[in-house]
Amino acid sequence: MDNSIIIGVGAAVLGIVIGFIIAKTLEKNKASKLIKEAKKDASIILKEAKSEGETIKKDKILQAKEKFIELKAEHEKVILSRDKKMAEAEKRTRDKESQVSNELSKSKKLNQSLDDKIKDYNHRLDVLDKKQGELDRLHKSQVQQLEVISSLSADEAKEQLVESLKGEAKNDALAFIQSSLEEAKLTAEQDAKKIIINTIQRIGTEEAVDNCVSVFNIESDDVKGRIIGREGRNIRAIEAATGVEIIVDDTPEAIILSCFDSVRREVARLSLHKLVTDGRIHPARIEEVVKKTKKQIEQEIIEVGKRTVIDLGIHNLNPELIKMVGRMKYRSSYGQNLLQHSREVAKLCGVMAAELGLNPKLAKRAGLLHDIGKVPDAEADMETPHAILGMQWAEKFGEKKDVCNAIGAHHDEIEMKSLLAPIVQVCDAISGARPGARRQVLDSYIQRLKDLEDIAFGFNGVKKAYAIQAGRELRVIVESEKVNDDKAADLSFNISQKIQTDMTYPGQVKVTVIRETRAVNIAK
């Protein structure tokens, strides 16, 4: 049993050894075949590489030869071009040399000719000197003979001749001056008339239509009751905030706004339009809308000033002056709109300056600004003549001296120092003197209303003052902290007495002093 196991195991081991040997032999044979095939493939690859290398080498040599030929051809072209340029330069040099030689020969000939002329000139000078000496000698002898004949010396004869010539020349000069002055007067008068007529004909004008009343149209009469408010509180709030008298009568679908100040009237009209459109009409809302409208009007004033200077072609005007020009839209002079009048004067000045050969742009500038003193900012400015005030503002905001002088001198407050001043004065007179331009009554009426308001502002504690009902009533709003109820009554009496003593007016003036106390708190 044990022997058979040992034999079996030995046979198995022997089989494994024999199998291993056979496998190694087969693997060796296979490896030798693979090596032979690899060597064969390597030899083939080497042959192909050598043949390909030879081909590449031949191609590169061929390309190098072609490149060499191209470079050689280009080099030959460059050499030929340089040779050609050198030949052209040599030709130009030869031409210049020949030209210079020709110029030199001409110069020699000219020099020779000049020398000949100089010699001839010197010879002639010698001859002339000899003849001049002979003439002087003959002149002296003739003068001596004349002195013997006339029994006068040469100096005495000369004095007599000069005196006679002076008399004749003086008479002729006086006659010529007189005729020239008469002709100049006629011509100057004709030219001046021609320039003024041409200037007026070329400017389109309008008649004065400004008044102190505006009509606010409404859709229905129901709106009137809302505007009046409970017991009239809304209409009183509007009048107190704007200073405009609101007249609500039987006129269908219309409310009349009465005030001499165009700005206040426009503020009231726009405020009413906003309130009616919005539908909320009560005192607090009224004050809010009026404040916003005043800011809107101020912005509109600036826009009007900008459009005006752009339309007239005036550049580099100070923003403050532009604002003053815009404010002239809401001012009038004897019923004539101040902005319209200033635009008209500016155009007249431009045309007249162009006719006279002066600077039309500078003349337009002076014509537009000549009445800016009529729109003062403060009460103190109203005491200064508007021409002087306008000149001071123009100087303050950097305008030229000629423009400032023209503004200040257009009513003869100062001396005229430039030609622009009489042009502005004449054009201002033309604009104001034409038929329909101004209404004297309206201006005096407006001045009376302003004087009424100024009297009220002269008392302490006065916050606002409005002249309404064509000057028959003065409504004064006081500060409740400074004026109590007793002082309000005294203030009303004092203002009425001041009006009686200082002003002349028809009828009666009612002075109403309003004192209002408000308590305002904010809930957060």
Please write down the HEC assignment for all residues of 413-452: CCCCCCCHHHHHHHHHHHHHHCCCCCCHHHHHHHHHHHHH
Q: Three-state DSSP class for 397?
A: coil
- State both tokens at 258: 């009465």
Burial class of residue 365, CB neighbours in 10 A (0-12, 13-18, 19+): buried
Burial 209-227 (b: 16+ CB within 10 A, else e): ebebebebebeeeebbeeb
What's the whole-model pTM score?
Answer: 0.46
Q: What are the b/e assignments for 77-96, b being 16+ CB within 10 Å? A: eeeeeeeeeeeeeeeeeeee
**Helix/strand/coil for 359:** coil
Write the DSSP assignment of 134-191 as a string of letters.
Answer: HHHHHHHHHHHHHHHHHS--HHHHHHHHHHHHHHHHHHHHHHHHHHHHHHHHHHHHHH
Q: Which domains does the chain have, with CATH numbers?
A: 215-433 (1.10.3210.10), 440-515 (3.30.300.30)
pLDDT tens over the chain, length 524 residues: 567 788 877 778 888 888 888 887 888 788 878 888 888 888 888 888 888 888 888 888 888 888 888 888 888 888 888 888 888 888 888 888 888 888 888 888 888 888 888 888 888 888 888 888 888 888 777 767 766 676 666 666 667 667 767 767 777 777 777 777 676 666 666 666 556 655 555 554 444 444 566 777 777 767 777 777 777 788 788 888 888 887 777 767 778 887 767 778 888 888 888 888 877 888 888 888 888 888 888 888 888 888 888 888 888 888 888 888 888 887 776 667 788 888 888 888 988 888 888 888 888 898 888 888 888 765 555 667 888 888 988 888 888 888 899 888 888 888 888 888 888 888 888 877 655 545 545 566 677 788 888 888 888 888 888 887 767 788 888 888 888 888 888 888 888 888 888 877 666 788 888 888 777 777 87
CB-based contacts of 455, cutoff 8 Å, min separation 6: 495, 498, 499, 502, 503
Alpha-carbon gap, residue 217 to 255, rounded angstroms: 6
Under 8 Å between Cβ of 245 and 239: yes
Name residue, tokens 């130009």: 92
Half-sphere exposure of 260 (CA within 13 A, CB side): 24
Give the Cα separation of 257 and 83 in Å (integer). Answer: 102
Q: Which pairs from 323-329 meet CB under 8 Å and 24+ separation?
A: 324/372, 324/375, 324/393, 325/368, 325/369, 325/372, 326/300, 326/301, 326/302, 327/263, 327/301, 327/375, 328/371, 328/372, 328/374, 328/375, 329/262, 329/301, 329/304
Return d(Cα 334, Cα 436) in angstroms, integer: 11
Separation between Cα atoms, residue 246 and residue 255, nearest integer Å: 7
Return d(Cα 339, Cα 368) in angstroms, integer: 8
Please tell me what DSSP assigns to residue 210: -
